[in-house]
Amino acid sequence: MSRVTVHYIALLALLAFPILAAPACAAETAVDQRDLEFVPDAVTIKAGDTVRFTDSDHITHNITIDNPDGTSSDKGMDTFGQDIVVGFPKPGVYHVHCKIHPMMKMAITVK
Ligand SMILES: [Cu+2]
């Protein structure tokens, strides 16, 4: 095998790697913020999937996620018609709430 051929094979392997490393099939689950509730209030997804939060209320909501490790992630304010997409790379149970309306709660189980 010539040196050029070896380099060509190495280049092909490098180009193919990102495709092989990509998640098999990341899915997106829709959650609505409607009538001061998360709808649905519980979803189960796979690690690597995303959740798209949509605000269908004519008021501002917030997305705050309490992570399984005890930390909390404030994903910001969600206004009418706006979407906030959050990825969940690690398994565990995540509790989501709205800082503005404390009764708004939901759970995301990541398998
Ligand atoms: Cu709210």
Residues with CB under 5 A from ligand 1 (ion): 61, 98, 100-101, 104
Is residue 43 domain-resident?
Answer: yes
Residue 41 and residue 55 in contact, taking contact as beta carbons nearer than 8 Å: no
Report pTM: 0.78
Is residue 12 domain-resident?
Answer: no
What pLDDT, in 10s, does the model give residues 4-16?
555 554 544 545 5
Q: How far away, in angstroms, is 61 Cα from ligand 1 center?
A: 4
| CA distance linking residue 49 with residue 29, whole number of Å | 8
The domain that holds 30 is classified in CATH as: 2.60.40.420
Q: How far away, in angstroms, is 49 Cα from ligand 1 center?
A: 24
If one counts the domains in the chain, the total is 1
Is residue 6 domain-resident?
Answer: no
Is residue 1 domain-resident?
Answer: no
Q: How far away, in angstroms, is 59 Cα from ligand 1 center?
A: 8
Q: What share of the chain is helix, strand, coil (3-state, %, to 5)?
A: 15, 45, 40
Q: Domain of 78? A: 25-110
What pLDDT, in 10s, does the model give residues 45-78?
999 999 999 999 999 999 999 999 999 999 999 9
